[in-house]
């Protein structure tokens, strides 16, 4: 029996190519967290989104400035764990045939420490206060806990312009950003439609193009352990290339809106083209779980006076995202 007001449990197994760490620190929220509130948040309206689009979103929140998440002890432990996983990061010829330089998605399969951090109720409640909507750890393990490393070739951007396939995510510095030359994290001050137009794309990923300086804002990270929250599906963002070779590690934990029948802008159709091991099953679990929650909600809402046409459209709405996803999966095997 799965519950709809808390995150979907992780699968019982892990992809065979992901090697769990044999020795690592034990996550302890009282020792490793030092949660603070951001000093400023931008809204979707600030970025130019119209009211009708904002009303369809889970929250009017766009992104915050960086705030402290980990204590010094938490940073030290997280850095050791991320370094350990570097040798088992995703293969660039497989999952890496995309915009990212060097990364480990599904880091929660490799590290219990990262998994417990991403699963932390204290972190989820804190982020919920910032976003103004209840958030829980994302149910797709590939994105629930991701690590980005700087690419070996510093001529490559750490991550090029894109919007995310998950509703909300944090970008947290694990290594000290004060040591870096370049590698800034930037957001586009505009809507995703404007960003797409300027980048000349129709999808989510825009390559390493240049956007007008006046439309770009860099997010300052005072030190390691600081991160910021964004409604990732609505913010074009990138991590610039390093100007000098250096260690730059960020942790990207992702979140979705709870309860599970509520708004979900997870772009499972886009993620279904990724080649991460287990990704199709992870996305199927997510979509089946969210559709189950919508159906359960509908079951409690159905009234004997409801008109046939309205009932039909409610049923269709509850399962439409699931059906679209099933179509996408079936298109793979043809």
The correct pick among 119, 164, 256, 282 for binding Fe ion (CB under 5 A) is 164
Is the Cα dihedral 57, 116, 152, 180 positive or negative? Answer: positive
How many Å separate Cα 89 from the centre of its chain? Answer: 18
Count the site residues for Fe ion by CB under 5 A.
Answer: 1
- Cα separation, 315 vs 313, whole angstroms: 5
* Chain residue at closest Cβ approach to Fe ion: 164
- Region of 22-30, 80-88, 159-167, 293-301 interacting with Fe ion (CB under 5 A): 159-167
- Region of 21-29, 129-137, 162-170, 267-275 interacting with Fe ion (CB under 5 A): 162-170
Is the Cα dihedral 169, 174, 178, 179 positive or negative? Answer: negative
Q: Is the CB of 79 or the CB of 164 nearer to Fe ion?
A: 164
Q: DSSP letter string over 55-120? A: HHSS-SEEEE--EE-B-HHHHHHHHHHHHHHHTTPPPTTTTTSSS-SEEES-HHHH-HHHHHHHT-
Q: Is the CB of 90 or the CB of 291 nearer to Fe ion?
A: 90
Q: According to the binding rule CB under 5 A, does residue 204 interact with Fe ion?
A: no
Min dist CB 237 to Fe ion, Å, is 6
Query: Which two tokens mark 90?
Result: 């995703």
Q: Is the CB of 119 or the CB of 164 nearer to Fe ion?
A: 164
- Region of 65-73, 138-146, 163-171, 291-299 interacting with Fe ion (CB under 5 A): 163-171
Q: Is the CB of 66 or the CB of 77 nearer to Fe ion?
A: 66
- Cα separation, 206 vs 253, whole angstroms: 22
Query: Which two tokens mark 49?
Result: 């989104």
Min dist CB 63 to Fe ion, Å, is 11
Min dist CB 61 to Fe ion, Å, is 16
Q: Is 131 exposed, middle or buried (0-12, 13-18, 19+ CB in 10 A)?
A: buried
Q: Is the CB of 10 or the CB of 63 nearer to Fe ion?
A: 63
Min dist CB 230 to Fe ion, Å, is 8
- Region of 164-172, 202-210, 288-296, 302-310 interacting with Fe ion (CB under 5 A): 164-172
| Residue ranges that bind Fe ion, judged by CB under 5 A | 164
């Amino acid at each position: 029996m799965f519950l709809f007001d808390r995150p979907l449990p992780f699968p019982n197994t892990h992809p065979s190519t992901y090697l769990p760490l044999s020795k690592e620190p034990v996550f302890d929220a009282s020792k490793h967290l030092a949660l603070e509130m951001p000093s400023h948040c931008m809204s979707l309206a600030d970025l130019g989104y119209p009211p009708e689009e904002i009303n369809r979103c889970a929250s009017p929140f766009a992104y915050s400035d960086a705030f402290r998440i980990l204590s010094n002890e938490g940073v030290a432990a997280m850095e050791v764990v991320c370094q350990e996983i570097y040798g088992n990061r995703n293969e660039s010829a497989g999952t890496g045939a995309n915009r990212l330089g060097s990364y480990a998605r599904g880091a929660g399969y490799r590290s219990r420490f990262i998994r417990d951090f991403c699963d932390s109720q204290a972190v989820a409640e804190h982020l919920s206060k910032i976003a103004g909507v209840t958030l829980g750890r994302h149910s797709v393990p590939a994105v629930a806990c991701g690590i980005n490393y700087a690419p070996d070739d510093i001529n490559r951007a750490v991550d090029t312009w894109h919007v995310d396939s998950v509703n909300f995510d944090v970008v947290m510095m694990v290594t000290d950003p004060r040591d870096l030359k370049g590698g800034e994290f930037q957001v586009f001050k505009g809507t995703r439609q404007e960003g797409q137009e300027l980048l000349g794309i129709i999808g989510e990923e825009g390559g390493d193009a240049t956007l007008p300086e006046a439309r770009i804002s860099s997010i300052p990270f005072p030190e390691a352990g600081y991160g910021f929250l964004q409604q990732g599906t609505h913010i074009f963002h990138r991590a610039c290339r390093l100007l000098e070779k250096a260690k730059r590690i960020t942790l990207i934990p992702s979140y979705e809106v709870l309860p599970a029948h509520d708004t979900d802008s997870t772009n499972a159709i886009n993620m279904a083209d990724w080649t991460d091991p287990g990704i199709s099953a992870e996305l199927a679990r997510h979509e089946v779980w969210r559709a189950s929650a919508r159906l359960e909600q509908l079951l409690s809402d159905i009234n004997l006076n409801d008109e046939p046409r309205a009932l039909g459209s409610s049923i269709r709405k509850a399962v439409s995202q699931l059906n679209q996803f099933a179509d996408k999966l079936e298109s793979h095997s043809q």
